[in-house]
Structure 1
């Protein structure tokens, strides 16, 4: 939702009003702008006749003013002379004009949030009098409520990835620091997110674009060699997803042995993305299971560009297509929100269980102080997972554990409790899991020619079409 409109809606909702009085909101906003103008320096407010050396200088000045008044801007109409020099430019509020009516609106269930309100705020510059750009028109009036100062840095015009920030991101990425930890460190160094200049989404988009550009032609050629594998194995299946620029993003493959193994042992599948590729940082994901001798069976493998819900949705669709649309009855994964969203969307009838090993890892991370100081907590936490036969006993033991260690207000435990039906065995005793409670147990491959945690050797084992 647009930031300006969100503030407007929130204001009216808190007042308990069902309908928004647009005229009243505009009057209130006009008053607030007058107050802001009285609080900031007059030199920061555009005025008719102001001069700027370049168009970019005029844009940066108006953008600085917009930051203080809390709205976003964009470049609108402009005219060039016969020498391709911009002689006239209008810089307006990002909410200028109205959205055009879409004929497809009648079949759309969820419409995008409204972002255009016919806003009148603008600054127009012209350089026909001399070589400098003069302000020839300025309108400070908005037809919507602007955002609050705490959200002003989120506007697109205020976000800019500088070369210094890009270098810092590259250094953290090459050092193997996870994006989340690197982002938190950068925000602390900048003394707040509002001072950093980019959002977390901008950070992830930069890494994605960088890795796409760095894809070498040899890697692409290696992937396309999978076509040759189909000559050797007609049942070999592979799928490649590309982005809008026709560059490879996600890859999935499965040979005839994998497809046949899944045909017989598809009741329970473990999906693991904790393996890593080399410095490109791609996630090496596998679909695993067990056969009638409880030996590990590989059903498919993939290289994922990222761990977003969209990537997982494509992968689950592709896996089902490779397996003749046969979906597992139970799937075991780690505690990932994007993965859970994709499973609920694509495989709604499949029972989703959480890996107990990953649950313990997350508990040790979020409850490190409790694990270090109180040895009994580990035993009580394990009992809640494994020991109880009925729901009432589980709930009582959980509440007693929270009270015993004074953890009633712990956010991670609250979120984990909301997912209890996916990890507590008291809720999963009627779900067939083939005695599988963790994805880690499936890494104990019997072959002696590679280490079970070596993704390079493991990829070779599953007929990887690319050289890792």
Structure 2
């Protein structure tokens, strides 16, 4: 049987209580992460580890790279791939690995982050500490998806780095957006293929203008 105080609890109060409990849980779990990196720093003097906290002391952003990852970046960090893997960890925070390719063609990790969100200022914070960690060596190229906030942060944090879009994401968008055109125009698929395989910028742009007129794409 409910007591009078329990009966008067509103749904909003329940949300507030659960939110506070989740924050306390995250804080306790995060303490274990910080302790882990502090212990590692005792045996790896080249480890880089930074945490940004909210005013109440709860975790906001975290970035880390040990000495081995920093050394790998100096050797193979001309091009990096940056992505966000959303809330697949116990903290329910976006995980952001920064990876590259070594001289054997193998994927290698340069650093990792747990972020508060996917806003421009959050990415700017990450890129700022990534450069501090990597001795201010800017990558020649960075490959990402087509996220606008990410692109804005890259322009500010890596002004001289060539920003390229990931081919996997482009192919994914092709499947989403081109199917109606392929259905409506029998020759569209071949025209599109020829456009993508253009040999020069001039040919690419000229074919694009032709396609826009022929298939009414400008709208």
- TM class by shorter-chain length? 0.7 to 0.9
Change (3 A) 1:220 1:377: same
**Residues 393 and 321 of structure 1: CA distance in aligned 2, closer, same or farther (over 3 Å):** same
Q: What is the CA–CA distance in structure 1 between the aligned matches of 2:115 and 2:21, rounded to whole Å?
A: 12
Which deviations, in whole Å up to 9, do the C-alpha atoms of 1:230-261 show, x marking residues without a partner? 11211111111112333211111111111111
CA distance in 1: counterparts of 2:73 and 2:80, whole angstroms: 9
Does the 8 Å contact 1:308/1:338 carry over to 2?
A: yes
How far off its partner does 1:389 sit? 2.2
Q: C-alpha distance in 2, partners of 1:315/1:304? A: 8
| 2:71 alignment partner in structure 1 | 260
- Sort the Cα spacing of 1:287 and 1:402 in 2 relative to 1 into closer, same or farther, 3 A: same
C-alpha displacement of 1:337: 0.6
How do 1:93-108 residues align onto structure 2 when only pairs under 5 Å count?
none
1:347 Cα deviation after fit: 1.1
Instruction: Give the Å deviation of 1:388.
Output: 1.6
Q: CA deviation at 1:407?
A: 2.0
User: In the TM superposition, what is the alpha-carbon distance from 1:302 to its structure 2 partner?
Assistant: 0.9
Q: Distance in 1 between matches of 2:20 and 2:215?
A: 46
Partner residue, 1:246 = 57
Shift of 1:291: 1.2
Q: Report the CA distance shift for 1:277/1:249 in structure 2 as closer, same or farther (over 3 A).
A: same
Q: 1:287 aligns with which of 79, 98, 113?
A: 98
Residue 362 of structure 1 and its aligned partner are, at CA, apart by 2.6
Distance 2:31 2:126 in 1: 21
Instruction: Go from structure 1 to structure 2 and tell me whether the alpha carbon gap of 1:224 and 1:294 turns closer, same or farther (over 3 Å shift).
Output: same
SS of the residue 2:83 aligns to: strand
**Partner residue, 1:398:** 208
3-state SS in 1 of match to 2:55:
coil
Cα distance in 2 between the residues matched to 1:344 and 1:365: 28
8 Å Cα contact 1:364-1:371 kept in structure 2: no
CA spacing shift, 1:274–1:366, aligned 2, 3 Å: farther
> Relative to structure 1, is the Cα distance of residues 369 and 276 closer, same or farther in structure 2, using a 3 angstrom cutoff?
farther
C-alpha distance 328-375 of structure 1, shift in aligned 2 (>3 A): farther
The equivalent residue for 1:298 is 109
Structure 1: where are the runs of 5+ without partners?
1-161, 171-205, 410-468
Q: Does the residue aligned with 1:273 lie in a helix, a strand or coil?
A: coil
Query: Residue 311 of structure 1 aligns with which residue?
Result: 122
- Aligned to 1:332, what secondary structure does the other structure show? strand
Higher helix fraction: Structure 1 or Structure 2?
2
Structure 2, unpaired ranges of 5+ = 1-9
8 A Cα contact 2:78 2:140, kept in partner: yes
SS at match of 2:85: strand
The question of whether the paired residues in 2 share the 8 Å contact of 1:235 and 1:255 is answered with yes
Counterpart of 1:326 in structure 2 is 137
CA RMSD of aligned residues (A): 2.9
In structure 1, how many angstroms separate the alpha carbons of the residues matched to 2:58 and 2:173? 35
Say if 1:301 and 1:279 are closer, same or farther in 2 by CA, change over 3 A: closer
Q: Deviations over 1:174-232 (max 9, x none)?
A: xxxxxxxxxxxxxxxxxxxxxxxxxxxxxxxx9xx779736434312222121011112
CA distance in 1, matches of 2:50, 2:216: 50
Taking the aligned partners of 1:337 and 1:253, their CA distance within structure 2 comes to 25
CA separation in 2, counterparts of 1:376 and 1:244? Answer: 59
CA distance in 1, matches of 2:191, 2:61: 41
